[in-house]
Chains A and B, each alone.
Chain A
Amino acid sequence: MAATAQDSQAPLRGPEKKDEDREDESANRCDSRTVSRQYEQHSVWSCLQVITKLLYLLNQGESFTKKEAAEVFFGVTKLFQKQDINLRRMMYLCIKDICPGADEVIIVTSSLMKDMNSKTDLYRSNSVRVLSKIIDGQLLAQIERYLKQAIVDKSPVVASAALVSALHLLGNNAEIVKRWINEVQEAAQNKNNMVQFHAVALLHALRASDRLAISKLVTSLTKANVKSPLAQCLLVRYVAQVIQDSQPGPNGEQRPFYDFLESCLRHKAEVVIFEAARAICNLRDVTARELTPAITVLQLFLSSSKPVLRFAAVRTLNKVAMTHPLAVTHCNIDMESLISDQNRSIATLAITTLLKTGNESSVEKLLKQIGSFMSDIADDFKIVVVEAIRSLCLKFPTKQRALMNFLSGVLREEGGFEYKKAIVQSILVLIQEIPDAKETGLGHLCEFIEDCEFTYLSTQVLHLLGQEGPKTKEPSKYIRYIYNRIILENATVRAAAVSALANFGAVCEALRPRIIVLLRRALSDNDDEVRDRATLHLQQLEGKAGGPEAVQPRVDVNLTALEKALSDYLAGPTDKPFDISVVPKAPPPLRGAAGGLGLPSASTTSGGGALPATSAARKDPTAEYAELLRSIPQLAPLGEVFKSCEPFRLTEEDTEYAVFCIKHVYEGHIVFQFNCTNTIAEQVLEDVSVAMDLADAGDFEEAFTIPLETMPLNGVGQCFTVVTRQPGAIATGKIVNILKFKVKEIDPGTGEAEEEGYDDEYVLEDLEVTPADYVKPTLLGNFRKAWEELDPSTEKEDEYGLGQREALQDAVEAVIGILGMQPCEGSEAVPPNARSHTVLLAGIFVGYQQVLVRMSFGIDAGNNVAMKLVVRAESLELSEAIHQIIQDA
């Protein structure tokens, strides 16, 4: 620390220089021995100064050697005889920060204990804090009673200190801290805001592992009058957690605690209002009606004079816009004025929110506004903007030209790898999804690789050019760009360019002779890989080694399965050649498989934590469970899971066992996953499985079960029941479920479970398999084109009355929710005050069969909503299945 210590210390030095200071200077280091000598000889004032300097050094990131630390530490301990409040405070800080080692630090225990019983508030509070940091379990038991007293101390400083210390102690000494519950409860009534805040936090932490207890605590706190705004914020968070953990009630039933959250929107303190608004926005499956009051207060915040409120509000609205664009459109005017906000983070969030909620006509205007500040913001934010543009382009394919131009514009500007990658990725997605965008997109990418410093991106673009270029109207115009790479780039890029060129030769016969000439030039490349590829491709183009078709072999197998098959093959005898025909075929490429709503998720590419992930608020259950399912060997023969449904509860609240079911749909099976929790500590439940009565579900046949060894106490364990059905069939029916297990009581005396248990069973709620379980959302570039490509004879049309609704948007959201398909072209947003509206939905059925839905809604003066539903699919049965979903709902 020598040299820098000197510098950073300099500005702090007081006017009266001590001799020793001068010595220091000549030695050019901060000698801690000097420090300890100062302690003895000098006044409280100079001690204070020295400690301040030391703490400053520490906070500047300096570290002390063990010896230095010990010397400073013991030096400080010798000051305990001085009765000066300011000095003592600095001593406490010093002891906490410079902890030489567990063996040494205990030396201050007795001194701190003395301070803990002092009359001075500051001594009591700070000694408690320090003590709790250095103490072990045995000593803690000895001083427990003082800490309990401190929690209910008259002085708020002391009470808070004790509560915070208890929170820290909870980690290693939970048993002891739990005994203070009465005192903590008393502190939770304290009139002082800070004390109440800490007490509420501790009450919650004390129950952290027990969901039932948390729920009870939260209920009682929402009824009690929590005055402290910070404590109220905590409570809002806890409430949100409880709502999150509880299963949604049967349709229409109001969420527990929603009233509480809503009432918090009218709280005096802004923090509480914001916290409640945020909690409401984050509710799972939040409805438009629930959102409205929260959006209203956030809208007010948008025009607040405090930047932090504006930021908080726009950030929250930005997230909501992903799932409920319409709810946010009311704020558009306020949002637009934020585009010119001095704070760039606010401006960026405002812009991207507008992009999400905007309608087709405002796209150009927004692009112009963004263009004006794009160069002023950091890469992280630029990525957010790019992601937003991409989603917008997918939503309004007709605007692709303007959006694509914007992307290519920013691609030419300066930027780091992550940013460039996000742009290229977006262009790739757009080329794939929007046929009209292909030619321009490829053109932009060609220009980009002319001057691209990132090998990774160059190779990716070259590969794409090789794939898509030959299929365009004028393939020859790409060849020059690609060949230039072979001359100018590094080996990796050259190899990619060789393969791309060969593709042109293979697909376009007219170009083949020219390509062969160009590839020959690569034969003398100084890189092995480049030469090898050129040699192979030349052979192929000349009709050898499999011929031109072999240039790009069609690997239509599932790559994960292929990898596994190959390693199995290598593990066994290899005298027979590998048979690729046994490897499972790949499912057709899943478009935009990432985000829950099929939208490309931003969170995967946006770097840094500066912004909230703008991806859909809900996780895609299929992605969530995929790993778990893959890890279970018995399920491997079933193939890839097509869709996992949302969990639902099969037991009532507050019963002995909590069981949730998740349906996983496979090609020819359904796997029912049961998440089981035992809530009774006095019993052990073993060999748990669920027996299914399939009498009312004749199309299913039980295949096998995977039992759960023991049902964890207050944790979650899984058992599975697997049924078969005709591959690809939309089989439905109602199933009666019985939970079977062996009970072993726990002897209260010994705490051991009895040896022999007895078999028992418990009837769970029925569950139903419906057509909706077999369909999932898919992203579509051009709905009209896809619609026309489907056979009109599969079309099925019907009309439905949906009864009275508050607004058209409610009805639209409800039907989309029931069908679980992907809205296209932004059609899910109903323009304000519209009396009729058409929504387009795209989905795929198990077996990867497409289904498209066109729904026209109308609302009359009495708010009665009617809907015409037209379906086209790859077969009439599928179209009928969609109608079935609506009829069942």
Chain B
Amino acid sequence: MVNVLVVGLDNSGKTTIIERLKPRPKQSMEVAPTVGFNVEEVQKGALTFTVFDMSGAGRYRTLWEQYYREADAVIFVVDSGDKLRMVVARDEMEHMLAHPNLRKVPVVFFANKKDLPISLPPAEIAQALGLNDIQDRPWNIFPSNGLTGEGLDRGMDWLAERLGKA
């Protein structure tokens, strides 16, 4: 049983991605902005993930920290097309990583909405977010498409591998 915390700015595609992680018949195509949070359970090979899908809207971001303590891993979703708010995403991320309640758990970054023509490549996003400065925990970034599910497996496999080692 692994607790995964899914965070990122609003409209970045968190809920969409989680839907795609569920078995096909249970997926729902229609997602509304999350109010507060949702818990889901998803199976990945031998691992059962309990996924906390947090709302990214400003009003709720301060509540993320209530769920740090039990997080065994973090998924941070970034909207690759939202250049304007990249700094906001970076700010929230730094805040989170500096929080005492969050253990040194692995972090997966999904550079989501890679299908958008204006989307930035993962390398540029890594730079914009200053990921290279993260020294104290394993992390990785993967381009993804929440609508099709493309790229999600790679991220989840990496995560499973990290967690297996721990």
Question: Which A residues form the contact surface with B (CB < 8 A)?
Answer: 40, 70, 74, 77-78, 80-81, 103-104, 106-111, 113-114, 139
Q: A74-B66, A78-B70, A81-B41 are in contact. Are A106 and B50 (CB under 8 A)?
A: no
Q: A78-B67, A78-B70 are in contact. Are A108 and B50 (CB under 8 A)?
A: no
Query: In the complex, are the beta carbons of B38 and A106 less than 8 A apart?
Result: no
Q: List 30 A-B contacts (CB under 8 A).
A: A40-B70, A70-B66, A74-B66, A74-B67, A77-B66, A78-B39, A78-B52, A78-B67, A78-B70, A81-B39, A103-B62, A106-B35, A106-B60, A107-B55, A107-B60, A107-B63, A107-B66, A108-B36, A109-B35, A109-B36, A110-B35, A110-B36, A110-B37, A110-B55, A111-B36, A111-B37, A111-B38, A111-B39, A113-B35, A139-B35
Q: 5 closest pairs, A vs B, by CB?
A: A107-B36, A109-B35, A81-B39, A74-B66, A80-B39
Query: In the complex, are the beta carbons of A104 and B37 less than 8 A apart?
Result: no
Interface residues of B in 82-127 (CB under 8 A from A): none
In the complex, the chain A residue whose C-beta lies closest to that of B52 is A78
Interface SS of B by simple majority:
mixed
In the complex, the chain B residue whose C-beta lies closest to that of A143 is B35
Query: In the complex, are the beta carbons of B67 and A110 less than 8 A apart?
Result: no
In the complex, the chain B residue whose C-beta lies closest to that of A74 is B66
Interface SS of A by simple majority:
helix
Return chain B residues, CB-CB under 8 Å to A80: 38-39
A-B contacts besides A107-B60, A111-B38, 6 pairs, CB < 8 Å = A70-B66, A106-B35, A106-B60, A109-B36, A110-B55, A111-B36
Instruction: Tell me the complex Cα distance, A74–B67, Å.
Output: 8
Instruction: Tell me the complex Cα distance, A70–B40, Å.
Output: 22
Of the candidates A40, A78, A103, A113, the one having the most CB atoms from chain B within 10 angstroms of its own CB is A78
Query: In the complex, are the beta carbons of A106 and B70 less than 8 A apart?
Result: no
Query: In the complex, are the beta carbons of A110 and B38 less than 8 A apart?
Result: yes
- Minimal beta-carbon separation of A127 from chain B (angstroms): 13
Return chain A residues, CB-CB under 8 Å to B41: 81
Return chain B residues, CB-CB under 8 Å to A103: 59, 62
Query: In the complex, are the beta carbons of A114 and B38 less than 8 A apart?
Result: yes
- Minimal beta-carbon separation of A577 from chain B (angstroms): 73
Q: Indicate whether B34 reaches chain A with its CB closer than 8 angstroms.
A: yes
Instruction: Tell me the complex Cα distance, A111–B40, Å.
Output: 10
Return chain B residues, CB-CB under 8 Å to A110: 34-38, 55
Instruction: Tell me the complex Cα distance, A108–B37, Å.
Output: 6
Return chain A residues, CB-CB under 8 Å to B36: 106-111
Return chain A residues, CB-CB under 8 Å to B62: 103
Return chain A residues, CB-CB under 8 Å to B50: 81
Return chain B residues, CB-CB under 8 Å to A106: 35-36, 59-60
**Chain B contact residues (Cβ within 8 angstroms of A): what range?**
10 to 19
Return chain A residues, CB-CB under 8 Å to B63: 104, 107
In the complex, the chain A residue whose C-beta lies closest to that of B64 is A107
Instruction: Tell me the complex Cα distance, A114–B41, Å.
Output: 14
In the complex, the chain A residue whose C-beta lies closest to that of B62 is A103
Instruction: Tell me the complex Cα distance, A80–B36, Å.
Output: 13
Return chain A residues, CB-CB under 8 Å to B55: 107, 110
Return chain B residues, CB-CB under 8 Å to A139: 35
Query: In the complex, are the beta carbons of A81 and B40 less than 8 A apart?
Result: yes
Interface residues of B in 18-46 (CB under 8 A from A): 34-41
Instruction: Tell me the complex Cα distance, A108–B34, Å.
Output: 10
Instruction: Tell me the complex Cα distance, A70–B60, Å.
Output: 15
In the complex, the chain A residue whose C-beta lies closest to that of B1 is A40
Instruction: Tell me the complex Cα distance, A863–B95, Å.
Output: 96
Instruction: Tell me the complex Cα distance, A74–B68, Å.
Output: 11
Instruction: Tell me the complex Cα distance, A115–B32, Å.
Output: 15
Instruction: Tell me the complex Cα distance, A81–B35, Å.
Output: 17
- Minimal beta-carbon separation of A72 from chain B (angstroms): 11
Instruction: Tell me the complex Cα distance, A81–B48, Å.
Output: 12
Instruction: Tell me the complex Cα distance, A139–B66, Å.
Output: 23
Instruction: Tell me the complex Cα distance, A70–B66, Å.
Output: 9
Chain B 53-77 against A: per-residue CB contact (8 Å), 1 yes, 0 no? 0010001101100110010000000
- Minimal beta-carbon separation of B133 from chain A (angstroms): 30
Instruction: Tell me the complex Cα distance, A413–B23, Å.
Output: 82
Return chain A residues, CB-CB under 8 Å to B59: 103, 106
In the complex, the chain A residue whose C-beta lies closest to that of B70 is A40
Instruction: Tell me the complex Cα distance, A74–B35, Å.
Output: 15
In the complex, the chain B residue whose C-beta lies closest to that of A105 is B36
In the complex, the chain A residue whose C-beta lies closest to that of B51 is A81
- Minimal beta-carbon separation of A787 from chain B (angstroms): 81
- Minimal beta-carbon separation of A186 from chain B (angstroms): 28
Instruction: Tell me the complex Cα distance, A110–B35, Å.
Output: 5
Return chain B residues, CB-CB under 8 Å to A81: 39-41, 50
- Minimal beta-carbon separation of A42 from chain B (angstroms): 12
Instruction: Tell me the complex Cα distance, A884–B37, Å.
Output: 81
- Minimal beta-carbon separation of A81 from chain B (angstroms): 4
Return chain B residues, CB-CB under 8 Å to A113: 35
In the complex, the chain B residue whose C-beta lies closest to that of A82 is B39
Of the candidates A40, A70, A103, A110, the one having the most CB atoms from chain B within 10 angstroms of its own CB is A110
- Minimal beta-carbon separation of A37 from chain B (angstroms): 9
Instruction: Tell me the complex Cα distance, A103–B59, Å.
Output: 8
Return chain A residues, CB-CB under 8 Å to B34: 110
Query: In the complex, are the beta carbons of A77 and B38 less than 8 A apart?
Result: no
Instruction: Tell me the complex Cα distance, A321–B92, Å.
Output: 74
Instruction: Tell me the complex Cα distance, A77–B67, Å.
Output: 10
Instruction: Tell me the complex Cα distance, A428–B52, Å.
Output: 76
Instruction: Tell me the complex Cα distance, A109–B34, Å.
Output: 9
- Minimal beta-carbon separation of B21 from chain A (angstroms): 14
- Minimal beta-carbon separation of A445 from chain B (angstroms): 70
- Minimal beta-carbon separation of B100 from chain A (angstroms): 14
- Minimal beta-carbon separation of A500 from chain B (angstroms): 73
Query: In the complex, are the beta carbons of B37 and A77 less than 8 A apart?
Result: yes
Return chain A residues, CB-CB under 8 Å to B39: 78, 80-81, 111
Instruction: Tell me the complex Cα distance, A70–B39, Å.
Output: 19
Instruction: Tell me the complex Cα distance, A110–B15, Å.
Output: 12
Of the candidates B38, B40, B59, B67, the one having the most CB atoms from chain A within 10 angstroms of its own CB is B38
- Minimal beta-carbon separation of B35 from chain A (angstroms): 4
- Minimal beta-carbon separation of A552 from chain B (angstroms): 75
In the complex, the chain A residue whose C-beta lies closest to that of B69 is A36
